[in-house]
Amino acid sequence: MLNMTEEEMTKFREAGRYIGRIMNEEGYFERNSQQLKGAKDATYYDTLDSMLMALNSGDIAEMMIYYKTGQYLCATNDNLELAYNSS
């Protein structure tokens, strides 16, 4: 994420995992256990260009960016698609 330090992102991800476990235990959603087993820690890139190069080369499978930035990238590149739609 832009405008976040690695330490802030780590805290954010830990809080998300904690909340996700509670919601899963309470039955609010089901998690894909195979996906969780293969989950890796975040990789940080200095620029959007380097992140896109990693995505295109297969070094990463997805990237977390602002929704509007994702819309722009998908509109200009037919090989990309949004994993989450805010509408």
pLDDT digits (tens, 9 = 90+) for 43-74: 888 889 999 999 999 998 888 888 888 899 99
Q: What is the amino acid identity at position 21? A: R
Highest mean pLDDT among 35-44, 64-73, 78-87: 64-73
Taking every pair of C-alpha atoms in the chain, what is the biggest distance, in angstroms?
41
Tell me the helices (H) and strands (E) count for the chain, helix number first: 4, 0
Residue 18 pLDDT more than 50?
yes
Could you tell me the pTM of the whole model?
Answer: 0.52
Average pLDDT over residues 23-38: 62
* Alpha-carbon radius of gyration of the chain: 15
Closest by CA position to 68, among listed 40, 49, 87: 87
Cα 76 → chain centroid? 20
B/e letters for 19-42, b = 16+ CB within 10 Å, e = fewer, are eeeeeeeeeeeeeeeeeeeeeeee
